[in-house]
Structures are given as structure tokens and as C-alpha cells.
Amino acid sequence: MEKEIKINFEAIPSYNDLTEIEKKLFDKAKSVRENAYAPYSNFWVGCAILLENGEIISGSNQENAAYPSGLCAERTTIFWTSANYPNVKIEKLFVIGAPKDALTSAPIPPCGACRQAILEYEAKQKDEIEIYFASLDGEIFKTKSIRELLPFSFDASFL
Ligand code: THU
């Protein structure tokens, strides 16, 4: 029997359609992207996280000559956040990725490994994290939880 899983996401047409705090996250993800250390792929990614206390934490992708030792912007940022604010809820995660010299881009969704890592923190904090991924010029996709992007997910309930 064939079954279907439906995923929900919101398409936000432009930067001007964002709320003030969302604009701050967009701006931060875009500016911190400039700190990417990505000499091998030349693909620069920035990530901004909003905590429930109003603080914004940000990070970028960090590559390595031993390629698999590098880390995506989303995991760099969320691991640092949990390491330093273990008991503060994460409300939103914003990501912007594009080739180094690009002027325009498409919204880049978090890779599979990052989806799995973000899912772990939703479980840890027992609450959803809103995910936004945006193009450089402000086309944005938003989901209410990482589960929308990782519907058939593996978590601790199976262990
Ligand atoms: N990258 C991210 O930082 N986040 C993603 O979701 C996709 C990929 C990074 C990893 C690597 O440094 C570069 O982009 C090219 O894959």
C-alpha cells in the first residue's frame, strides 16, 4: 500500500515580509556568512540562532584539508549554542548559503546531517525550532520544525 507524507512550509517572498526579529536574523546570517572558512568548496554559509532570552548566536561553515573533518554552519552554530547555553531554548534558526562571490542565490536548505543534529536539540528542549533558509536577496522558506524537513526521522525513541 502506498502512503504519503505531507510536509508544510511557508514561502516568504521578500525581506520586507519578515518581522523585525526575523530581519535581524536574516541580516546576521548574511553578515556572519562572510566569516566562513571554506577554502575548498568556496561555498559560504552563515547561520543565526534566536534564543528565548532574545540573544542571537551566529556561526559559519568551517572546512578542513581532511574534508570530512569540516563542519556546516548550522552544526557549528547549534553545537556552540548548546555548549554555552545548555538550558536556554532555541526558538529560530536561520541559514543563508551561496558560493563565495555570488550576488544572487537560491534558498539553501540544511543538509541531512544538520537536520539530524537540529532534531536532537528539538528533542532536548522538548520544543520546536522554526527553520528559515534564505537566498542572498531575500527569498525565504520557513518551516515550524525541523521535522518538516526530516519527516521519517530517527530519534532516541527507537533506542
Ligand atoms: N554547508 C553548510 O554549511 N550547510 C549546509 O546546510 C550545506 C553545506 C557547507 C559545508 C561545506 O563547507 C560547504 O557548505 C559545501 O558543501
pLDDT tens-digit readout, 66-112? 999 999 999 999 999 999 999 999 999 999 999 999 988 899 999 99
Report which DSSP code applies to 54. Answer: S
Distance 86 CA to ligand 1 centre (A): 25
pTM value is 0.96
Place of cell 566569516: 35
Instruction: Tell me if the domain spanning 10-113+125-149 has CATH number 3.40.140.10.
Output: yes
Residues of the chain with pLDDT under 50: none
Annotated active-site residue 20? The verdict is no
- Give pLDDT, residue 50: 98
As separate numbers, helices (DSSP H) first and strands (DSSP E) second, the chain gives: 3, 6
Could you state, in order of their start, the residue ranges of all structural domains in the chain? 10-113+125-149
**Cα 2 to ligand 1 centroid, rounded to whole Å:** 33
In 3D space, the residue among 104, 107, 136, 106 whose CA is nearest the CA of residue 27 turns out to be: 136
